[in-house]
Amino acid sequence: MSTSQQPDPRDRPARLSVGVVGAGRVGPALAASLQLAGHRPVAVSGVSDASRRRAERMLPDVPMVPPAEVLARAELVLLTVPDDVLPGLVEGLAETGAVKPGQLLVHTSGRYGTKVLDPALRAGALPLALHPAMTFTGTPVDVQRLAGCSFGVTAPEELRLAAEALVIEMGGEPEWIAEERRPLYHAALALGANHLVTLVAQSMELLREAGVAAPDRMLGPLLGAALDNALRSGDAALTGPVARGDAGTVAAHVSELRRHAPQTVAGYLAMARATADRALAHGLLKPELAEDLLGVLADGTDRTNGSNGTNGSEGDAR
């Protein structure tokens, strides 16, 4: 197909040559997904040995070249570098004349919208912000996980169709995020996904300390059910000793954590306070039980009368 016959990318991308700047976990997976949709990866850049191995595994036979050469070869360029690196990278590429007029320039940062691409826009590039709301491993399984994955999308009005088409071709679902809402959007995802990993890892460590041989097998069904309930019902899914107001049980938890894993106490207390606030606001925590509980959470000691730290409530995971 000649250049004159290709559809305008402002309407819908044709089969495009694809380049990746930054061969971390995200870029090669997105490029591999676009390849399945008929696009053609032509160049990738990466610095570390791990990046090079990842690119070779995910994009075999695609040459590794410097970033400016990626832009010289590709009609669609994926900028998949860390958030703090992105502004300087864009400025540098624009200042050195690497950006081509009409080139689709896509970054995958959750923090930024399209304004971070303004230097490239002034050079004639077409800016898109496509952030996959997914955690990546740097392996081929990432391509499969993109099926049904939501993308936080920010784009100029005239490029909305192009942005939608690219996300759908990668198997994703576009969610439109206003430029000024990108930091809040990204904070929400980090609060859920990043902190979840920390909580699960800490929970597994504590279960091993308690003598559980296979903490992952124990936690899998419990956490899967808790996540499903939370997504379906929100705060109505809150259970456990904090939501019940079992101050003695919470005090016992804090005492054991201080003895066996003091590094987890601050996180436990912070999450328990947040849980108590939400349970109280939604009528799940009875006000008459909240005072003792909040007292425990304030200083980590049992304030119930005559309690040995277990207050007789069930010791289950509810």
> Which residues of the chain register pLDDT less than 70?
1-14, 300-318
The order of strands in the sheet holding 173-176 is 40-45, 17-21, 76-79, 104-107, 126-132, 150-154, 173-176
**Which pLDDT does position 234 carry in this prediction?**
96
Handedness of CA 94, 95, 100, 101 (dihedral sign): positive
* Sequence-distant (≥ 6) Cβ neighbours of residue 194 within 8 angstroms: none
Q: If you ran DSSP here, which 8-state letter would residue 75 be given?
A: S
CA distance 231 to 240: 17
- Pairing verdict, β 126-132 and 104-107: parallel
| Nearest CA-CA partner of 191 in 133, 242, 248, 139 | 133
Q: What is the pLDDT of residues 79-110, one digit of tens each?
A: 999 999 999 999 999 999 999 999 999 999 99
Cα angle 297, 299, 300 (rounded to 5 degrees) comes to 65
Query: What is the CATH code for 3-177?
Result: 3.40.50.720
Q: What is the pLDDT of residues 286-312, one digit of tens each?
A: 999 999 999 999 976 544 444 444 343
